Structure formats: structure tokens, C-alpha cells
Amino acid sequence: MQVFKAFLKVLKKNSFTAVVFIAVFLAFALLTSSNKVNIETSVGVDIPVAVFDEDDTPESRALKDFIDEKYDIIDIKNDRDVILDMLYYEEAGYAFVINKGYSEKLAAGDTEDIVSAYHVHDSFAEVVAEEVISDYIMTVKAYTAAGMSLNEAIENAGNDLLTETEVTIESFIEDEGDFSQKFAVYYRYMPYIMISAILSALCPVLMIMNRKDIRFRTNCSSVKPNSCTMQIFAGGGLFVLGVWLLFMGVGLYMYGGIFRGKAWTAVLNSALLSAIVTAMAVLVASVVGSQNILNLLVQILGLGMSFICGVFIPQCYLGKGVLAVGRFFPVYWYSKLNDMLCGDARYSTGMAVTCLLIEAGYAAALLLITLLIRRVRYSSTGAPAAAKAN
């Protein structure tokens, strides 16, 4: 077990990055679990705007009333310098001018230059306000084109655009007692932390163990290549097991007791993920020889799979093209099962078993590929060639 012991000694000196990742994740998880999360039932945009009605007709006043319903109208002097100062100091987000002749042009269906505005270029207020005003004018134009009088079109446009629509997000979960959506967030982000923390800690250690001088000594000893690889797997597995047990311990605290029902499926899901990440770390370290390349690869794997596999964004919100690519990665199946457990997708026992089997297959495949690469790449030491040279 000399390889195993040496691995642990080197790992102890290179675990700082993993400790930071894990500490930040657990602190965030405990903070969110200790605070109640309030979900707003409606979303509004509160932008202070100034409106200058230069047309002063019933039609222009109707537009001003519509804007007053959407935003907070502030009273300022209609002076360019004053308006620009207000925009610069963010006391107003948008200054809207209803130009002279607005009502006549609107009745004729001409929407060119009937309004103008002062705003900060490419600001959030600009985008939102212009979209709302454009929707109002185009809706009025559509109603008049359909045969309504201008007054009827203005009234209907205002009623339509001021109507609030209630949006309900469907949840497929029947009972949140076993695995609530709030608790599922803890498991949702675990792949990113696992990949980033474990690869950042294990891969540098494995790269040290793969150095030529150390590898040559190991290959010249009585330790067989496969035995050496398995001892390295054991050392990495012990470290990952400790990290996983720490996560599960914190999970028990957040859960409020022993896991029940579907929560055990989430535990098994995270255990398979840990095995996959362990095999991934050994594989990456077997083919990468530069620390700079390793740092880049860790970010690509961690962030890349998290974005396209449903870690940062639930899979129900991702496009079909993204999901088609994501299904080739193990994190996709982890997230798919987690979404089913928390109610973001309809739960199916058959699909849950499929996800677990696919994850186990990824772990086994990565292990076999790593054994093959290490056997081919590291089985020869170069010592015979050096002996002949002497």
C-alpha cells in the first residue's frame, strides 16, 4: 500500500482549493436553508419617468394616463438641460415627449415621429419603456385598422395592455414531505461543486504521482501497473468519500432528520456522481500534463456541464438542441433524476432506474478507459532504453 500512503500525503498538501469550494458551498446551503424564501406572485417594473404632453388632446392624455398606470410619473421642467441632469443622476429613467400632432397622425395610421424621448443609451429603462409605448401605439393602430373608431381603439388598447395575467408553474410532485423543492436546490448544485472541488484537488496530486521519476521508480518495483492504478483510485475514492459523507451530513441537518422515501434516491444519485467524478479526475490527470491546461479543463468541465445539463438552469427551461448535447454527459442524467424527485419533471420509476444505471455505466466506462490509458502509457518506464545507452 505504499502508493496509497504516498498519495494521501501529497493530497494533504494540495487540498486547499477543494476546502475553499466546499466551505463556500456549504455556507451558502446553510444560509439559504435558514432563511425563508418568499416567491412573489407578480412581477413589476418600477421606473420613474417624465412625460411631456405637447399635443394636449384627449388622445395624448389617454396615453399619459396609460403610462401613469405602468410607471411612476415625476414632475420636472420641460427643459433639455434639466432633463439630461435628471437622467445623468438617475433621478429619472426615461423622459417621454408626446409630440404636437400626435392625435391627428394616430387617427391617420401614421406612427412616425409622433413620440420622442430622452434616455440613457442602452439602459434597462430605455428597453422596457420603449417596448411598452411601442406596444400601445401598435395596438391602437391595429384596432383602428380593424374598423374601430380611434376612441374605441384607445380604450381597448389600454384595457388589454393593463390586464395582468396570472402565471402558474406546474409542479409534478404530489408530496413535498420526502423531497421538497427547497431541499432539491442543495442537490441541484452538487455536480458543479463536486467537479470543481474534486478535480482541483485530486488532479494536481495525480499529476505529481504520474511524474516520470516517480512513475519509473514505481514501475521498477514489485507493484504492478494495475495495482498502482487501483491504489490511486482507492486514495482518490477515500478523499471523495469523505467529501460525500460531509455533504450527506449537512444534508441530514438541512433535512431535519433521517432521509425518507425519495430522498434516499437522491443520496444514491449523489453517490454515483461521486464515483463518476473520481474516475473523471484520474482520467484527466492521466492525459493532461500541464497545470494551466488542467485549470482550464476543470472550468470547462464544471461550468460547461452545469450549463448544458441542467444544473444552473432546470432542464424544462433548456432548448431541445442543448438537451440533445447534454444527454451525452453524466451530469445530464443526474440532473434529470433530481428534477423528477423535486417535481420539476414528472416522476417515473422506470426513468429513475434508467438514470441511475446510465450513471453507473459512465463510472464503469471511465474506470476502464483510465485503466487502459495508464496501462498503455505508463507500463513502460524507459529504463531498458537507458540501460542500453549505458
**296-352 pLDDT, tens digit each:** 888 888 888 888 998 888 888 888 888 899 899 999 999 999 888 877 778 888 998
Nearest to 222 by CA among 3, 55, 61: 3
CA-to-CA separations, 36 to 86, 170, 219, 228, 248, in angstroms, rounded: 38, 21, 57, 50, 22
Nearest-angstrom CA–CA distance, 227 and 214: 15
The H or E element that residue 98 is part of is strand 94-98
Q: Which grid coordinates belong to 27?
A: 455556507
Per-residue confidence (pLDDT) for residue 357, from 0 to 100: 94
Q: Mean pLDDT for the chain? A: 79
14 CB-near residues (< 8 Å, 6+ apart): 201, 204, 205, 208
pLDDT in tens, 97-123: 888 888 888 888 888 888 888 877 666
Nearest-angstrom CA–CA distance, 226 and 103: 85
The rounded radius of gyration (Å) of the Cα atoms in the chain is: 31
3-state secondary structure of 133: helix
Asked if 184 and 140 count as a contact pair (C-beta separation under 8 A), the reply is: no
34 CB-near residues (< 8 Å, 6+ apart): none
pLDDT in tens, 76-91: 887 888 888 887 877 7
3-state secondary structure of 70: helix
Nearest-angstrom CA–CA distance, 312 and 308: 9
The H or E element that residue 12 is part of is helix 2-13
3-state secondary structure of 288: coil
Please state whether beta strands 48-53 and 115-118 pair in parallel, antiparallel, or not at all (unpaired): unpaired
What confidence tier does 185 reach under pLDDT thresholds 50, 70, 90? Answer: confident
Q: Is the pTM of this model over 0.85?
A: no
The residue ranges of every structural domain in the chain are 2-34+175-382, 48-162
Does the pLDDT of residue 375 top 90, yes or no?
no
Does the pLDDT of residue 135 top 70, yes or no?
yes
Nearest-angstrom CA–CA distance, 145 and 111: 13
Per-residue confidence (pLDDT) for residue 359, from 0 to 100: 93
Fold held by 48-162:
D-Maltodextrin-Binding Protein; domain 2 (3.40.190)
Nearest to 28 by CA among 301, 254, 240, 200: 254
Asked if 267 and 184 count as a contact pair (C-beta separation under 8 A), the reply is: no
Cell numbers 529504463: residue: 383
